[in-house]
């Protein structure tokens, strides 16, 4: 077992339930990554911590049941990892929204090969969201926090949670964009990088 994988399984034990599926995911990620840009090459040696563990930690902040929506899914983080956890626990469903057709094709292949509980939408977020009723909205690296909150606002006002993986500049981002006064924003340290954050957004 690689040290990266061992660290991920130690810090996020829930990954142990989906190890076989994640091994398939890893192989497809490396294979497809040779022709399309899915993740940074510098992170390929740390897929389990930088991508799988980073994504799975969101399961500690919301119930896996119900409908989840992942905005700008890209290579499937965090949405596809959550979808695999949903499959294992036989609860919920995940909607992956990705406007890039090649990345959407990648998401479909991983979903098919792993049996993930995921619906892939090859479209823009604003074209898909009105037809969905998410209990949780997630995203990683798609947009600034102001834009993510704007996408999530109609659903958060109805009781949904926003869970956004953000980097070390999240505090400066929050000072640049107005957050609705009836929203609470909580910054939780990331297991991947304590200087990064899981931004939880909910109505109060």
| Burial class of residue 17 (count of CB atoms within 10 Å of its CB; 0-12, 13-18, 19+) | middle
Give the DSSP H or E segment for 69.
Answer: strand 67-71
User: How high is the pLDDT of residue 1?
Assistant: 65
Domain range annotation of the chain: 55-203
User: Do you know the residue count of the chain?
Assistant: 204
How many degrees, rounded to 5, is the angle at CA 182 between CA 97 and CA 176? 70
Report long-range pairs for 183-186 (Cβ below 8 Å, ≥24 apart). 183/149, 183/153, 183/156
CA 122, 123, 125, 130 dihedral sign is: negative
User: How high is the pLDDT of residue 116?
Assistant: 96
Mean pLDDT in order along the chain per 10 residues (204 residues):
91 97 97 94 92 97 97 98 98 98 98 96 97 97 92 97 93 88 95 93 96
Class of domain 55-203: alpha beta
User: How high is the pLDDT of residue 133?
Assistant: 96
User: How high is the pLDDT of residue 111?
Assistant: 98
């Amino acid at each position: 077992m690689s040290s990266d994988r061992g660290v991920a399984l130690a810090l996020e034990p829930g990954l142990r339930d989906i190890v076989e599926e994640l091994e398939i995911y890893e192989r497809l990620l490396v294979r497809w990554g040779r022709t399309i840009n899915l993740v940074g090459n510098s992170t390929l040696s740390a897929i389990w911590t930088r991508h799988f563990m980073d994504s799975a930690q969101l399961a500690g902040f919301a119930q896996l049941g119900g409908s989840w929506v992942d905005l700008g899914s890209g290579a499937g983080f965090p949405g596809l990892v959550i979808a695999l956890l949903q499959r294992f626990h036989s609860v919920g469903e995940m909607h992956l929204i990705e406007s890039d057709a090649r990345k959407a094709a990648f998401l479909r292949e991983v979903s098919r090969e792993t049996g993930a509980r995921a619906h892939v939408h090859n479209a823009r977020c604003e074209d898909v969201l009105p037809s969905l009723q998410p209990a949780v909205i997630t995203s990683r690296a798609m947009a600034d926090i102001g834009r993510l909150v704007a996408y999530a606002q109609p659903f958060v006002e109805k009781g949904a949670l926003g869970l956004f993986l953000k980097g070390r500049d999240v505090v400066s981002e929050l000072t640049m964009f107005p957050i609705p006064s009836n929203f609470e924003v909580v910054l939780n340290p990331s297991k991947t990088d304590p200087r990064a954050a899981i931004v939880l957004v909910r109505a109060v």
